[in-house]
Amino acid sequence: MRHLLLGIAAFLIVLKGYSQNSSTNSGGQVQTVQPKIMVIPYTKEGEDIRTILEEDVSRRIAVTKIKEAFDARGFTTVDFTAKLKAAKDNNVFTSDNQTDLKAQIIQMSGADVYVQAEVYVLRGQSGNEVKLILTAYEASTGNSLSNKVGESGKWYTEDIGKLASKAVEAVVEDFLNVMQTKFTDIVNNGKSVIVEISFDANSQQKMSSEIGPDGLPLSDQLEQWMEKNAYKNNYHIQGTTDVKMIFDDVRIPLKDQATWNNYNPNKFAL
Amino acid sequence: MKNIHFLFIIIPFLFSCQFVQGQKKTVTAEVNFLSESTGIITVRSIGYGKNKAEAIDNAEINAMDVLLFRGLPESTQKDPIIGINSDEIKSKNKEYFENFYGAKQYKTFIMSALPTTEDLIKNKGGKKSIAVDVKINVKALRLDLENKNIIRKFGF
């Protein structure tokens, strides 16, 4: 009897650990976790992203105008310059390679989506023009979410910032509408994740090893598991070797289909 | 005998009533983009009606319908704000659209509707029409649709 009471007490202590704190109890309400979006300037190979924004006002204006458009849709973006400053202050950058530097900032910011703005200034006798290439990617998979080219038109002005602003205004609404279409597709058909399963080169087990009661190769067993667990049976195999199997597109739902709580890649891996 | 005659008259009449009710109101896509600035789109829309007021109303409704269910080429709103399947969307959100069109809620998003001619133009078949420059507050329209859960807010 004493043992039983102790067991029940231990069980209740464990349960208490999982119960919701009364201070944060939302009464069962679930707010969908929104993607973190960061707007960044495009940099050519060898260009220092740290000095690009400081020196080039037209790029700064383009980035700010794009962020403004997100704000107008009631969506808060991650501030690139603030992240850049924080990274500089914390000496996060470990490499001199500028491409790596950009990747490091994206990784450090925790952004799910990044929007890249490429600004070209075309000067001519018939006026100056700014062309803008806007691209949105999913940071985890590299999937493209929206692409647009904006043009300011030719104007007799040296105010390149104003032209950059016009180029953004010409396409940003359309750009956001396409992004929203892709977001709706994610809500309906799941978020794309990459699943990579690999063995050590010296491992005794290979993808072709026959395992389990069926004696099926491991790669087939993995595919069967994915078939059952990918959201709406939606997955794609990039390739399989003896030591590696890559699923380059596995869809997982945004919400747990049983509890309706938020779902994420970590829960998929549980 | 009299009752049978009465039935012969009344039954075809009832069938014709049902047929007319079953027919859906034809809307036109005679809406062309004129200009836009942040959050505002101006279109030239053709409206039909017996009198000027009725034709202007029709032009406004056509402009709204095109923006919501067809999209406006040449503008930044190339895709429809809600979706292409207008009948399904309207029946799914019956209450909203009864209020939007029936109670003329759509007028709260129209900043101006200026006829381009003084009088109605008589078309073939006796139909009378007018071209109207309609200025629409697209930003407010989108916010209203988002708040009433007709479209999803930006994001997931």
Q: What is the ipTM of this complex?
A: 0.74
pLDDT value of position B28: 75
pLDDT value of position B91: 95
Which residues of chain A are within 8 Å of residue B77 when distances are taken between CB atoms? 173-174, 177
A170, B76: Cβ pair inside 8 Å? yes
A183, B156: Cβ pair inside 8 Å? yes
> Higher confidence at residue B129 or residue A2?
B129
> For residue B16, is pLDDT > 50?
no
pLDDT value of position A9: 62
Range in A146-150, B27-31, B54-58, B83-87 the model is least confident about:
B27-31
3-state secondary structure of B75: coil
**Overall average pLDDT of the B64-84 stretch:** 93
B19 touches chain A (CB under 8 A): no
Shortest distance between the Cα of A70 and any Cα of chain B, in A, equals 9
pLDDT value of position B26: 47
Mutate which: A75, A177, A264, vs B, most B CBs within 10 A:
A177
pLDDT value of position B20: 40
> For residue B60, is pLDDT > 90?
yes
CA separation (Å) from B18 to A100, A185, A220, B21, B27?
Answer: 70, 40, 60, 5, 20
Which B residues in the span 66-125 are in contact with A, Cβ-Cβ below 8 Å? 76-79
Cα A178 from Cα B137, distance rounded (Å): 20
Mean pLDDT per 10-residue section of chain A, whose length is 270 residues: 60 57 78 90 79 84 92 89 77 58 75 92 94 93 93 94 92 92 93 93 90 89 94 94 93 92 89
Determine contact, residues B61/B101, Cβ cutoff 8 Å.
yes
> For residue B136, is pLDDT > 90?
yes
Determine contact, residues B57/B111, Cβ cutoff 8 Å.
no
A177, B77: Cβ pair inside 8 Å? yes
Q: What is the rounded (10 degree) CA torsion for B139, B144, B147, B149?
A: -110
Shortest distance between the Cα of B64 and any Cα of chain A, in A, equals 18
> Domains along chain A?
37-188 (3.40.50), 190-268 (no CATH)
Please state, rounded to an integer, the average pLDDT across all residues of chain B: 86
**Overall average pLDDT of the B120-125 stretch:** 86
B127 touches chain A (CB under 8 A): no
Determine contact, residues B82/B100, Cβ cutoff 8 Å.
no
Shortest distance between the Cα of B97 and any Cα of chain A, in A, equals 22
B149 touches chain A (CB under 8 A): no
B156, A173: Cβ pair inside 8 Å? no
> For residue B147, is pLDDT > 70?
yes
Shortest distance between the Cα of B108 and any Cα of chain A, in A, equals 20
pLDDT value of position A20: 64
